[in-house]
Amino acid sequence: MVTADGLHVTKVMSHDRLEARFGAMGRQARVVALGGGDRADERARHLIEVVERKWSRYRSGSEVSRVNDKGGHSVVVSPETYGLITRAVGAWRVTGLCSVLDTLAMARQLHPGQRNGLDALCKRYSVDNSHRELHGALLDADLLLEVYLAMTGGQGALILDEESEQPGHKAVVRRAVRPDGPLRVLRATEDERRAHDALLQVLDKASGGKTAWRRFEPDGAPAGNA
């Protein structure tokens, strides 16, 4: 069915159970209501619509989208959105320990004018999201990690061995055990330093000069001269 506001809704009634599916936040939302008749889902749909108008990044006219588009200029928002932004800024000032990277802004910069939702990015970077039938924060975060690695230099995994790339191979995480006695320190040779610096230059070019490793080098010196 199509509602008065143009929303496509699929409803399934079974005794006193109502299940409704409709688009929200760039994906399909599912509401299950027990009791209340064949209109029991309408309040839930109304609340989700209110949230979308304020905080959906998939709507160009939402409050969040307007704040992002204005880039630091004044925007009139609801008290709820103002409160969330105020608390977010407060948390950022209190912690001061980490920065926040907006992967959506990064994707828009890399692919202007294209769809940059998670499903679209997975397709663009050949990230398997076939198991993304039910959406959740942990699953989306795992997929976003793979997309981020692909966007920042083409790295496909955090484990850089060939075996982990083989079909059917399951990676196993093992805790390292420190051996007894003093540890041997193996320093890189000059050839290894030069090869490392050459790789960093490739990453610099691919990431627009944002290679994270550079931050750990003294005075930003090239790895071969450290």
For the annotated catalytic residues, the residue numbers are 135
Contacts of 217 by beta carbon, 8 Å cutoff, 6+ apart: 223, 226
Contacts of 118 by beta carbon, 8 Å cutoff, 6+ apart: 129, 140, 143, 144, 147
First to last CA, the chain: 66
Q: Estimate to the nearest angstrom the gap between the alpha carbon of 57 and the chain centroid.
A: 12
With beta carbons less than 8 A apart as the criterion, state whether 9 and 1 touch.
Answer: yes
Radius of gyration for the alpha carbons in the chain, expressed in angstroms and rounded: 24
With beta carbons less than 8 A apart as the criterion, state whether 26 and 117 touch.
Answer: yes
Ramachandran assignment for 70, one of left (phi > 0), alpha (psi -120 to 50 degrees), beta (any other): alpha
